């Protein structure tokens, strides 16, 4: 096919009348003779707009202006046969849409999986101590806690051992407040609040027969406080609920989660990773004072026997599995057998 028109070389503004030849293979020639200068598939042909001459732009900078509309339309049709039909374009757009959707889902997942924990960690580190104390007071008041019924010398022994645990590990005693309480409704439990308030219930002490057992629980809880696990957990679910609200438009999830940390810590518990971290570091705290971390594994097993299912025991918020028990036993093998 040959079209008449004007060639512009892209350098000078002056065009030269000439011929554009397209052969059956879709090769374009600037002259009737000579080498092909481009491929038809690579050239964009503008759609017909009345009788306005149309300009074909080549990658080399050359342009060809022609008003032979019937031939140009025929070339557009030929391009279609060469693979640029509208179905293909639609197909490409559809693929782009799917890729976009997948990217969106992946980034949402990424935000949920990594962004939110990171945000929670930063916020947890930035919250002022006064706010944490206020939250703790509120949480402690909301729970059915009574005075401990342990004999006073026993209470003193627990306080002394806890103080020594902090001291041998160089942890500031003024950051912690150990509350010995009784709570028949809560059952054998212990928990730490982000403020450094740690509550140990008589019901849990009753299941122990060694100092290393209840102290193992306290060491574990100290790690939760030091690493701000509880706070991170609450903030994580708060941020998660916020993200969910943004996606679904339903605000009830967010409002019910925000700052509800006694629920998160007591009922939902910590993630498996945080538990492992608390076990490992808690065992180190114990070893430094010469206590045996393996005794915590013994307590886990005793709790598992006791747990009737209707009382939220320490196990509920700190689910033990064989892996944790094995790890604690292993840590215990390096214990100093002097006690
Ligand atoms: Zn824990």
- DSSP for 273-328 reads HHHHHHHHHHHHHHHHTT--THHHHHHHHHHHHH--SSS--HHHHS---HHHHHHH
CA of 137 to the centre of ligand 1 (A): 21
Q: Note the pLDDT of residue 86.
A: 57
CA of 218 to the centre of ligand 1 (A): 10
Do residues 118 and 132 share a domain? Answer: no
User: Which has more confidence, 125 or 170?
Assistant: 170
CA of 143 to the centre of ligand 1 (A): 19
Min mean pLDDT across 39-43, 242-246, 261-265 is at 261-265
Do residues 60 and 114 share a domain? Answer: no
Do residues 164 and 280 share a domain? Answer: yes
C-alpha 237/C-alpha 169 separation (Å) is 31
Mean pLDDT of 295-305: 85
In the chain, what percentage of residues exceed pLDDT 90? 24
- Helices 211-226 and 272-288 meet at what angle, rounded to 10? 120
Do residues 77 and 95 share a domain? Answer: no
Mean pLDDT of 105-129: 71
pLDDT above 80: residue 135: no
Q: How far is CA 92 from CA 77, 98, 100, 194, 302, in A?
A: 19, 10, 12, 52, 62
Residue 296 lies in a domain: yes
CA of 20 to the centre of ligand 1 (A): 79
C-alpha 43/C-alpha 84 separation (Å) is 11
Do residues 48 and 140 share a domain? Answer: no
Q: Note the pLDDT of residue 339.
A: 43
Q: Note the pLDDT of residue 47.
A: 81
Q: Note the pLDDT of residue 317.
A: 63
The angle at the Cα of 97, spanning 94 to 98, to the nearest 5 degrees, equals: 90
Mean pLDDT of 263-277: 66
| CATH number for the domain harbouring residue 78 | 2.30.29
Do residues 60 and 112 share a domain? Answer: no
Confidence of residue 338 (pLDDT cuts 50, 70, 90): very low
Confidence of residue 217 (pLDDT cuts 50, 70, 90): very high
Mean pLDDT of 302-320: 64
Mean pLDDT of 261-288: 75
Q: Note the pLDDT of residue 116.
A: 72
Do residues 142 and 117 share a domain? Answer: no
Do residues 217 and 275 share a domain? Answer: yes
Q: Note the pLDDT of residue 169.
A: 93
Residue 337 lies in a domain: no
Residue 106 lies in a domain: yes
Do residues 76 and 216 share a domain? Answer: no
**Last residue within a domain, chosen from 84, 110, 144:** 84
Neighbours of 206 (CB within 10 A): 14
Mean pLDDT of 187-193: 85
Q: Note the pLDDT of residue 320.
A: 63
Do residues 49 and 143 share a domain? Answer: no
In the chain, what percentage of residues exceed pLDDT 70? 75
What DSSP character marks residue 44? B
CA of 150 to the centre of ligand 1 (A): 24
pLDDT tens digits, 5-50 = 999 888 887 888 989 998 888 889 887 777 888 888 888 888 877 7
**Last residue within a domain, chosen from 54, 84, 114:** 84
Residue 285 lies in a domain: yes
CA of 278 to the centre of ligand 1 (A): 6
C-alpha 303/C-alpha 207 separation (Å) is 8
Mean pLDDT of 209-217: 95
Residue 167 lies in a domain: yes
Residue 227 lies in a domain: yes
Q: Note the pLDDT of residue 283.
A: 93
CA of 327 to the centre of ligand 1 (A): 14
Q: Note the pLDDT of residue 149.
A: 96
**Last residue within a domain, chosen from 126, 154, 183:** 126
Mean pLDDT of 53-59: 87
Tell me the whole-structure pTM to 2 decimals. Answer: 0.57
Confidence of residue 246 (pLDDT cuts 50, 70, 90): low
The tally of domains found in the chain comes to 3
Coil, strand or helix: which one is 102?
helix
* 242, 293 contact by CB (below 8 A): no
CA of 317 to the centre of ligand 1 (A): 7
What residues flank ion ligand 1 with Cβ within 5 A? Answer: 275, 278, 318
CA of 325 to the centre of ligand 1 (A): 13
Do residues 272 and 160 share a domain? Answer: yes
Q: Note the pLDDT of residue 253.
A: 54
Residue 142 lies in a domain: yes
Residue 136 lies in a domain: yes
Min mean pLDDT across 167-181, 227-241, 309-323 is at 309-323
CA of 108 to the centre of ligand 1 (A): 28
* Mean pLDDT, the chain, whole residue set: 79
Do residues 174 and 151 share a domain? Answer: yes
CA of 318 to the centre of ligand 1 (A): 5
Task: Provide the residue range defining the domain that includes 106.
Answer: 87-126
């Amino acid at each position: 096919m040959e079209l008449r028109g004007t060639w512009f070389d892209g350098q000078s503004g002056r065009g030269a009348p000439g011929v554009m030849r397209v052969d059956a293979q879709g090769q374009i020639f600037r002259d009737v003779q000579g080498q092909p200068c481009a491929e038809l598939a690579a050239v964009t042909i503008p759609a017909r707009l009345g009788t306005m001459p149309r300009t074909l732009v080549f990658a080399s900078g050359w342009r060809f202006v022609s008003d032979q509309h019937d031939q140009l339309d025929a070339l557009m049709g030929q391009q279609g046969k060469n693979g640029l039909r509208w179905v293909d374009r639609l197909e490409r757009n559809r693929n782009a849409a799917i890729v976009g959707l997948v990217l969106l889902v992946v980034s949402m997942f990424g935000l949920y999986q990594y962004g939110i924990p990171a945000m929670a960690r930063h916020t947890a580190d930035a919250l002022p101590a006064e706010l944490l104390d206020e939250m703790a007071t509120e949480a402690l008041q909301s729970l059915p806690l009574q005075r401990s019924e342990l004999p006073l010398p026993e209470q003193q022994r627990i306080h002394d051992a806890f103080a020594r645990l902090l001291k041998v590990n160089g942890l500031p005693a003024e950051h912690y407040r150990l509350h010995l309480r009784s709570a028949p409704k809560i059952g054998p439990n212990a928990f730490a609040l982000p403020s450094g308030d740690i509550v140990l219930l008589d019901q849990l002490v009753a299941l122990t027969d060694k100092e290393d057992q209840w102290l193992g629980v306290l060491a574990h809880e100290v790690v939760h406080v030091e690493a701000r696990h509880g706070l991170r957990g609450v903030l994580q679910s708060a941020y998660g609920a916020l993200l969910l609200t943004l996606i679904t438009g339903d605000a009830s999830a967010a409002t019910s989660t925000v700052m509800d940390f006694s629920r998160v810590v007591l009922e939902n518990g910590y993630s498996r990773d945080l538990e492992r971290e608390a076990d490992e570091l808690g065992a180190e705290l114990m070893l430094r004072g010469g206590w045996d971390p393996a005794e915590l594994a013994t307590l886990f097993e005793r709790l598992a026997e006791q747990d009737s299912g209707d009382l939220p025991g320490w196990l509920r918020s700190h689910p033990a599995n064989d892996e944790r028990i094995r790890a604690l036993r292993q840590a215990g093998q390096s214990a100093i057998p002097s006690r």
